[in-house]
Amino acid sequence: MKENEARFVWPELITPWKMASPMAKTAFLSACFLGVLTHIYIFTNLILNHDSVWRLFYDNANLGLGRWSLQLLSEFSTRFQLPVVIAVISILMMALTAGVTVSVLDISNKVTAVLISAFLVTIPSVACIFSYMFTADAYFICLLLNALAVYVAKKYRWGWLLAIILCALACGGYQAFLCYAIGLFLIDCILELFTDKPVDQTVKRGLTYIGIIVASLVSYYLIMMVFLAIKGTALSSYQGFDTVDPMDFAGFLSKIPQAYKDFWSYFKLPPFRTSPYRVIQLLFLFLAGGAMTYLTVISKVYRNWRKLLLLLLGISLLPLALNFVTILVQEGTVHALMIYSFVLLYVFSLKIVEMALQKMIQNQSSDWPILYLCSVALAGLLVWNNFCVSNMAYLRLQVCYENSFALANRIVARIEALDGYSAELPVAVVGEASRTLYGGTVQDFAQINSLTGTNDRLLYSPEPHIRTRTFVEHYIGVHMPRINGEQKEVLNNSEQIKELPSYPQKGSIVIYDDIIVVKLSDGIIR
């Protein structure tokens, strides 16, 4: 090359990573590492729950549940239930959510950023979501969309418009995660009260946030109705979804007391924590409460009656915001899968402690190391408990799967040993397998019964015939031909079938009228 010849230089590409703050990068990397470490058990094994048994190949088309965007968001991982692929997407989504969250909250301490990430990826609701592996990646995309909605609404002048779109799209994937946006919006307003910003500005910001949530819910509902009309689909009765009336304000208001009750029950006596960790959790929350009191005094919020009133209002509304899903689910049950937003109470507490520490250091208080060390220790212990609980849930699922596999294998062996057996004969499954046959024999898992999706029953009602048949075909590798409607009616009306003993007794598996009948318990063939 000639000396005077110009050397080609690639222009610098401005990427999101380069634009991200050091705290956001810390949160992202921490969430990636801790997320993989916590959930690697389920990432590296095909561990099933009662729903994923028959969703080994599934496109997540759940328009009947109002989830009009779920199928689209699930396309990244194909229609196959691929644990590693889904894990990569899910961890990235949670890590990005962690980075966005610390950016919204203006976290300035790396330890705080790491702890926030740790809570976000280890909260037991995450284990519940991963037990439904076939849809986990789409759910966590929805989580990120809600977090991004708060970020753009806060950072950009016209961000509110994009925030509405993001929240509506996220609701179309999984409605419960809207509470993450609601909670983060409210926390942002509360934190602003401890700054020098005018009260009117905070009120304006709060009203804007409320408008975004209302507009996104309306947009979500209208889009849902359009999709239902186009597809000719009706809403499902699951969780009373088909009975929800968006104009029933009295019904929504009547659920408010329940929202508060469930929230406080969760944090007062969390069902998945042992007694020592319950005490640790209360100590952590009391510590955060003390830090808030200190901030209220040192920032002189108490001297401004408008700020003080808004602070009290914000704190009182926080449980409702984080558990707003209870308001939306009027006739159904709110379970552990739907309360991921509760993690924001820990996030909020960590931010409050960080702000208190900043004030103490500025005021040259010698007590700040005590607050710092105590908060880190308590938060760290809670994260460790979350880590253990998640892996307990996965162990339970593994044991349940192996128990179920063994049971299904024994049933198939009994079927194939029948006189007159033919692989072409249709199979009818009556009732459901007794709880004492598998899973339920390990009583030590009872402390995590509240973790939805991690239960100990794969071959259970209300569709034992579907789940048992699908399990046998997918995981035992034996085809079980279906019976037709006429045969089903004959069997349900047969006194001889009703008098058969239940499995594993002799005579519980028979050939009746050229139909293989497997009677697991008393019941009907649906």
What does the alpha-carbon distance between residue 428 and residue 246 come to, in Å, rounded to a whole number? 42
Find all residues with CB under 8 Å of 507, minimum gap 6, and list them: 500, 501
Locate 147 and state its tokens.
Answer: 């977090």
List the one residue out of 351, 371, 287, 319 whose CA is nearest residue 102: 351
Locate 225 and state its tokens.
Answer: 């109705």
| Residue-range domain boundaries for the chain | 20-393, 394-519
pLDDT higher than 70, residue 2: no
Q: Classify residue 296 as exposed, middle or buried by CB count within 10 Å of its CB (0-12, 13-18, 19+).
A: middle
pLDDT tens, residue by residue, 177-223:
999 999 999 999 999 999 989 999 999 999 999 999 999 999 999 99
Residue-level pLDDT at 460: 63
pLDDT higher than 80, residue 440: no
What does the alpha-carbon distance between residue 489 and residue 501 come to, in Å, rounded to a whole number? 20
Residues in the chain: 526
Give the residue with greater pLDDT, 443 vs 112: 112
Q: In what order do the strands lie in the sheet with 427-430?
A: 427-430, 515-519, 509-512
pLDDT tens, residue by residue, 93-140:
999 999 999 999 999 999 999 999 999 999 999 999 999 999 999 999
Distance of CA 174 to the CA centre of its chain: 9
What does the alpha-carbon distance between residue 161 and residue 216 come to, in Å, rounded to a whole number? 10
Least confident span in 7-11, 259-263, 377-381, 451-455: 451-455
Residue-level pLDDT at 265: 84
Inter-residue contact 418 to 511 (CB < 8 Å) = yes
pLDDT tens, residue by residue, 399-435:
888 888 888 899 899 999 999 999 899 998 888 776 6
Amino acid residing at 456: D
Per the prediction, the chain carries an average pLDDT of 88
pLDDT higher than 80, residue 175: yes
pLDDT tens, residue by residue, 270-300:
666 666 888 899 999 999 999 999 999 998 8
Least confident span in 33-37, 126-130, 326-330: 326-330
DSSP category for residue 180: H
Ramachandran area for residue 59 (φ above 0: left; ψ -120 to 50: alpha; else beta): alpha
DSSP β-bridge partners for residue 93: none
- Nearest-10 crossing angle of helices 256-268, 305-322: 80
List the one residue out of 148, 136, 152, 143 whose CA is nearest residue 175: 143
